[in-house]
């Protein structure tokens, strides 16, 4: 048995057989739906179900029960119960098509004990545009792709910056500084992903990050520096210790360049001398706000933080259509979107 799926904003239609997911069937039919990891970990393939319903073999980790109750689904895992009408949840953003090219390693330097700054140089003749917040795929022969969020707003001189945490056992990150020499060439695909700034929202913005989830948020904030149309900005950044706050001085220096900028670092394993906030970022938000319906939100970091923060925000009156998220998850030895 097959079911008919209609994409409401384009009027494209395709059939899904009983053994397929919505995404698999769409790709088979040559219909583009945003996607990345394909196992329910990143949320890029989130869709809004306008008519019909779907089920899962196993409920995906990048979707909350609250989102499902409001009609959202993940196309890479959802299997239709019957005919459906769906809409991609990326709100009609016009995102540039990714291109495959090569990048030259310009610098690898430590930011903390387990986080490195990687700078790649793209070809000078590459006409590359991306929306701050998107990421790049690094293509590794015989291994697959590894995805890392760009930490810079624009490819100045076609250079792009990344903040990469070393993952124990990770094929690419385990020995990043030792395996990549200046001048090394990498095959890459750029840009990827739907996590990016939504200027049409024009709401006060709350950015929430853990770890190197700061990278795409830094790119978005950098793009808003000295922008007269920038809405009020709050940033909650969770790390373990003071030594992990590798971008603290830079972010604090942006106080006069972002409108009503409120930067709140939160440490889960702070020393006795730390005078700032302690615990987890979602706890700090709950302490600071009773109601958040007027905000748009950008969440990036661990899946646990993203899920917990979504639930918290929804309980405080946030609208799902204004919550954008990017979970850094790991699959096998490493998963795409590490940061």
256: CATH: 3.40.50.80
* Residue 337 confidence (pLDDT): 45
Domain that holds residue 259: 199-327
Q: Is residue 241, in this structure, part of any structural domain at all?
A: yes
* Residue 168 confidence (pLDDT): 66
Q: What is the pLDDT along the chain (339 residues), one digit of tens a residue?
A: 899 999 998 899 999 998 899 999 999 999 988 887 788 877 788 899 999 999 999 998 888 888 899 899 999 999 999 999 999 876 656 777 889 999 999 999 999 999 999 999 999 888 777 889 999 998 887 777 788 899 998 766 688 999 998 876 665 665 555 567 889 899 999 988 889 999 999 999 999 999 999 999 999 999 999 999 999 999 999 999 999 999 999 999 999 999 999 999 999 999 999 999 999 999 999 999 999 999 999 999 988 899 999 999 999 999 988 999 987 654 433 333 445
* Gap between the Cα atoms of 40 and 61, Å rounded: 6
The number of folded domains in the chain is: 3
Q: Is residue 337, in this structure, part of any structural domain at all?
A: no
* Residue 92 confidence (pLDDT): 57
* Gap between the Cα atoms of 75 and 106, Å rounded: 38
* Residue 336 confidence (pLDDT): 39
Residue where one domain finishes, among candidates 34, 55, 88: 88
Q: Are residues 50 and 106 in the same domain?
A: no
- Nearest Cα to Cα of residue 250 among 151, 106, 129: 151
Give the helix/strand (H/E) hosting 15: strand 12-17
Q: Is residue 339, in this structure, part of any structural domain at all?
A: no
Contacts of residue 145, defined as CB under 8 A and 6 or more positions apart, other chains included, come to 137, 138, 139, 189, 336
* Residue 175 confidence (pLDDT): 53
* Residue 287 confidence (pLDDT): 97
* Residue 169 confidence (pLDDT): 62
Q: Is residue 218, in this structure, part of any structural domain at all?
A: yes
* Residue 329 confidence (pLDDT): 59
* Gap between the Cα atoms of 302 and 306, Å rounded: 6
* Residue 173 confidence (pLDDT): 61
Angle between the 281-288 and 303-315 helix axes, to the nearest 10 degrees? 10
**Beta strand pairing call for 296-301 and 277-278:** unpaired
* Gap between the Cα atoms of 181 and 69, Å rounded: 49
* Residue 212 confidence (pLDDT): 94
* Residue 158 confidence (pLDDT): 85
75: CATH: 3.10.20.30
C-alpha count within 13 angstroms, C-beta hemisphere, residue 26: 27
- Tell me how many degrees the CA angle 196-200-203 measures, rounded to the nearest 5: 90
Q: Are residues 45 and 17 in the same domain?
A: yes
* Gap between the Cα atoms of 176 and 86, Å rounded: 41
* Residue 334 confidence (pLDDT): 38
Whole-number Cα distances in Å, 78 to 42, 306, 331, 332: 14, 21, 19, 22
């Amino acid at each position: 048995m097959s079911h008919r799926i209609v994409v409401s904003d384009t009027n494209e239609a395709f059939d899904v057989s009983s053994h397929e997911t919505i995404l698999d069937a769409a790709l088979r039919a040559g219909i583009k739906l945003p996607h990345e990891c394909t196992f329910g970990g990143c949320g890029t393939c989130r869709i809004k179900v306008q008519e019909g319903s779907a089920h899962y073999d196993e409920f995906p980790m990048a979707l909350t029960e609250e989102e499902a109750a409001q009609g959202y689904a993940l196309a890479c895992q959802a299997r239709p119960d019957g005919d459906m009408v769906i809409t991609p949840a990326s709100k009609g953003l016009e995102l540039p098509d990714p291109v495959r090219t090569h990048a030259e390693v310009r610098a690898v330097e430590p930011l903390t004990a387990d986080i490195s700054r990687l700078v790649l140089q793209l070809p000078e003749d590459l006409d590359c545009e991306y929306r701050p917040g998107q990421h790049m795929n690094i293509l590794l022969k015989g291994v697959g792709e590894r995805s890392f969020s760009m930490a810079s707003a624009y490819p100045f001189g076609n250079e792009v910056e990344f903040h990469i945490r070393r993952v124990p056992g990770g094929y690419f990150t385990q020995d990043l500084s030792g395996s990549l020499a200046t001048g090394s060439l990498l095959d890459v695909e750029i840009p990827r992903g739907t996590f990016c700034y939504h200027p049409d929202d024009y709401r006060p913005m709350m950015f929430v990050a853990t770890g190197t989830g700061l990278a795409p948020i830094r790119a978005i904030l950098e793009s808003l520096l000295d922008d007269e149309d920038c809405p009020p900005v709050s940033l909650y950044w969770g790390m373990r210790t003071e030594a992990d706050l590798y971008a603290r001085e830079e972010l604090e220096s942006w106080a006069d360049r972002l409108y009503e900028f409120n930067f709140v670092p939160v440490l889960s394993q702070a020393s006795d001398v730390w005078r700032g906030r302690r615990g987890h970022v979602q706890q700090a938000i709950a302490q600071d706000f009773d109601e958040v319906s007027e905000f748009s939100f950008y969440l990036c970091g661990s899946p646990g933080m993203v899920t917990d923060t979504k639930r918290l925000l929804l309980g405080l009156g946030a609208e799902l259509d204004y919550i954008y998220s990017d979970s850094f998850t790991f699959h096998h030895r490493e998963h795409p979107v590490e940061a």
